[in-house]
């Protein structure tokens, strides 16, 4: 990450029952092609069903099996990004990114986390697409505190019909801008 880029640090904002239970295995740190090849060989299901990923606070890609919780993949720590990705093999046998999203209801990262994802993918030996193949917009309702997935630019709470803010708004203690 360049020192001039401001990145948001996302703390876990999901269900306390998941946060407070015993941690699962942290995600594998992927720092290059050898790590990636080793992980993908051990998890060939990532080609079909995808994988859970986070970008840790050091800017490294961490991968775990698709049904893993993001907080486990992150070792219980805050992240720069979280979501799901699907890997595959190109005709020349290189591992490639087929799909990547910011879908994580545990961290609810804003689509603005893309630069952290792109940098981590490239550092891991994966060519990053131009952006998320599927981006999700999460907002917390200021009236009832419900976590909402905003669809079709409809910024209205699904639980109480209150207007949702346009800007990412999870607890101030849950996110801090890093520079």
In a domain, residue 2? The reply is no
Indicate yes or no: pTM above 0.85. Answer: yes
Report pLDDT digits (tens) over 5-24.
578 999 999 999 998 988 87
Average pLDDT score over the chain? 91
- Is residue 75 situated within a structural domain? yes
**Does 142 map to a domain?**
no
Domain range for 46: 7-136
The pLDDT tens digits for 20-52 are: 988 878 999 999 999 999 999 999 999 899 999
User: In the predicted model, is pLDDT for residue 178 greater than 50?
Assistant: no
Determine the Cα–Cα distance for residues 116 and 100; give it in Å rounded to an integer: 13
Number of domains present in the structure of the chain: 1
Q: Is 71 part of any domain?
A: yes
Q: Which two tokens stand for residue 63?
A: 């991968």
> Would you give the distance in Å from CA 143 to the centre of its chain?
26
How much of the chain exceeds pLDDT 90, in percent?
82
């Amino acid at each position: 990450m360049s020192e001039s880029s401001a990145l948001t640090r996302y703390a876990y904002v999901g269900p306390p029952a998941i946060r407070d239970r015993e941690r699962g295995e942290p995600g594998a740190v992927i720092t290059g092609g050898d790590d990636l090849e080793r992980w993908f060989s051990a998890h060939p299901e990532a080609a079909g069903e995808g994988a859970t990923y986070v970008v840790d606070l050091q800017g490294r890609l961490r991968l775990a099996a698709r049904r893993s919780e993001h907080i486990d993949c992150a070792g219980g720590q805050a992240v720069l990004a979280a979501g799901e990705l699907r890997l595959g093999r190109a005709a020349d046998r290189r591992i490639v990114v087929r799909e990547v999203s910011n879908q994580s209801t545990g961290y609810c990262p804003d689509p603005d986390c893309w630069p952290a994802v792109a940098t981590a993918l490239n550092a891991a030996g994966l060519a990053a697409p131009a952006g998320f193949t599927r981006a999700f917009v999460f907002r917390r309702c200021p009236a009832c505190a419900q976590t909402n997935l905003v669809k079709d630019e409809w910024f209205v709470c699904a639980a109480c019909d209150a207007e949702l803010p346009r800007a990412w708004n999870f607890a101030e203690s849950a996110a801090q801008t890093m520079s």
